[in-house]
């Protein structure tokens, strides 16, 4: 089976009834780009920039631009969606002047840090725009909780673009702007945020944590961490619907996207773009090819009256089990 999966990895992922799904790769290091190209991924759907930052928190704009450029060149003409720095939470760093917080996951994290450290943020945005001269990119903001944060970040980005142009840098090819939807307030106001961006990216690792008040790292409550909780599925549904209405793309890049057992629910909710680690691409594509989108939509409909995450998972699993 492994050989069969591997052989078909570059073929598109289309369901038995012709619904096409784009499968992209999550990345953390520039060095992964070779494996990603070979994995069958269409694009990089999530590049977590924290890891490069940790290598050298005082790294210059030139160094960042050179590193991002290597990733962009490796994937072009496909696009690389960079997520701006998502430190805070479990990734605390002295360099930004963060203090210990009683509830770090509810504290100074993601876009909050970037908007509070403008010089650092500008350095990253300028480096990303410089890399964009070499291929299409996306820039998305993590931990967005209201549309004002997106507007503030876009203003800074526009200023950086203006400066770079005046300084004579070559113009970016294509830069799509996105918001991570990973806090319930963002999902509930997705219609307002959609007006400001070109795409959404559903960060379900955090969305599950914040919706259910279950720490994603706490073993003690791990059994309560349920991606199939109806509240989570409703928030995903609202996000997809708002994206459709606004005519923008929506991708899902949390771990949930690589879980073949819940794939029927995700397709049923209308998702047509997933981003998973490179090692999962061929498996996920294979599973999609065996699903029927109409049947997946029906499962979601049938689950609407169910309140129990386990029962919803069972329904989805029953479809998924036929995949192998």
List active site positions: 253
What are the φ and ψ backbone dihedral angles of 175, each rounded to 5 degrees?
-125, 110
Q: How many CA atoms, within 13 angstroms, populate the side-chain half-sphere of residue 58?
A: 3
Binding flag, residue 105, ligand PEP (CB under 6 A): no
Contacting residue, 254, 264, 268, 270, with ligand PEP by CB under 6 A: 254
CB of 211 to ligand PEP, least distance (A): 12
Q: Which does 254 bind (CB under 5 to 8 A by kind): Mg ion, ligand PEP, none?
A: ligand PEP
- Reduced to 3 states (helix: H, G, I; strand: E, B; else coil), residue 33 is helix
Q: Does 203 bind ligand PEP (CB under 6 A)?
A: yes
- Ligand-binding site membership of 9 (annotated): no
Q: Is 109 annotated as a binding residue?
A: no
Which one of ligand PEP, Mg ion, none interacts with residue 230, CB within 5 to 8 A by kind? none
Helix (H, G, I), strand (E, B) or coil at 181: strand
Give the whole-angstrom CA distance, residue 135 versus residue 152.
Answer: 25
- What's the rounded Cα separation, in Å, for the pair 136 and 73? 9
**Rounded Cα–Cα distance for residues 204 and 210 (Å):** 9
Query: Considering beta carbons, is residue 143 or 161 the nearer one to ligand PEP?
Result: 143
Nearer to ligand PEP (CB atom), residue 173 or residue 249: 249
Is 315 annotated as ligand-binding? no
**Chain residues 204-243 in contact with ligand PEP, contact rule CB under 6 A:** 204-206
DSSP 68-92: HHHHHHHHTTS-EEEEP---BTTB-
- The three-class DSSP label of residue 188 is helix
83 assigned to a ligand binding site: yes
Is the Cβ of residue 135 or residue 142 nearer to ligand PEP in the bound state? 142
Give the tokens for residue 37: 């190209």
Taking the least distance from each CB to ligand PEP, the nearer of 72 and 253 is: 253
- The torsion region of residue 168 among left (phi > 0), alpha (psi -120 to 50) and beta comes to left
Residue with Cβ nearer ligand PEP (172 or 254): 254
Nearest to 208 by CA among 162, 163, 244, 255: 255
- Indicate which single residue of 50, 206, 259, 273 sits in contact with Mg ion (rule: CB under 5 A): 206
Q: CA gyration radius for the chain?
A: 19
Shortest CB 205 distance to Mg ion, Å: 5
**CA–CA separation, 179 and 140 (whole Å):** 5
Residue from 64, 80, 140, 253 in contact with ligand PEP (CB under 6 A): 253
Binding residue positions for phosphoenolpyruvate: 48, 83, 205-206, 216
Give residues in contact with ligand PEP (CB under 6 A). Answer: 46, 48, 86, 182, 203-206, 253-254
């Amino acid at each position: 089976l492994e050989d069969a999966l591997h052989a078909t990895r570059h073929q598109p992922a289309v369901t038995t009834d012709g619904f096409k799904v784009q499968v992209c790769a999550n990345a953390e290091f520039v060095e992964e780009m070779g494996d990603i190209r070979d994995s069958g991924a269409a694009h990089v759907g999530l590049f977590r920039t924290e890891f490069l930052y940790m290598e050298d928190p005082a790294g210059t704009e030139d160094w960042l631009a050179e590193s991002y450029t290597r990733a962009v060149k490796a994937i072009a003409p496909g696009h690389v969606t960079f997520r701006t720095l998502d430190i805070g939470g479990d990734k605390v760093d002295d360099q930004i002047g963060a203090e210990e917080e009683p509830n770090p996951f509810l504290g100074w994290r993601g876009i909050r840090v970037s908007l509070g450290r403008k010089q650092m943020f500008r350095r990253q945005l300028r480096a990303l725009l410089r890399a964009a001269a070499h291929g299409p990119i996306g820039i998305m903001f993590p931990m967005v909780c209201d549309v004002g944060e997106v507007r503030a970040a876009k203003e800074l980005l526009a200023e950086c673009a203006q400066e770079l142009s005046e300084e004579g840098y070559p113009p970016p090819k294509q830069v799509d702007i996105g918001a991570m939807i990973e806090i319930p307030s963002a999902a509930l106001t997705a219609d307002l945020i959609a007006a400001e961006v070109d795409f959404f990216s559903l960060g379900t690792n955090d969305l599950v944590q914040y919706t259910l008040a279950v720490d994603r790292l706490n073993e003690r409550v791990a059994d309560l961490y349920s991606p199939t909780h109806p509240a989570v599925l409703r928030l995903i549904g609202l996000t997809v619907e708002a994206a459709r209405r606004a005519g923008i793309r929506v991708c899902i890049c949390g771990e949930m996207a690589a879980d073949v057992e819940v794939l029927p629910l995700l397709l049923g909710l209308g998702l047509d773009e997933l981003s998973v680690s490179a090692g999962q691409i061929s498996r996920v594509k294979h599973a999609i090819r065996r699903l029927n989108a109409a049947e997946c939509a029906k499962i979601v409909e049938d689950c609407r009256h169910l309140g129990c995450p386990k029962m919803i998972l069972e329904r989805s699993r029953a479809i998924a089990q036929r995949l192998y």
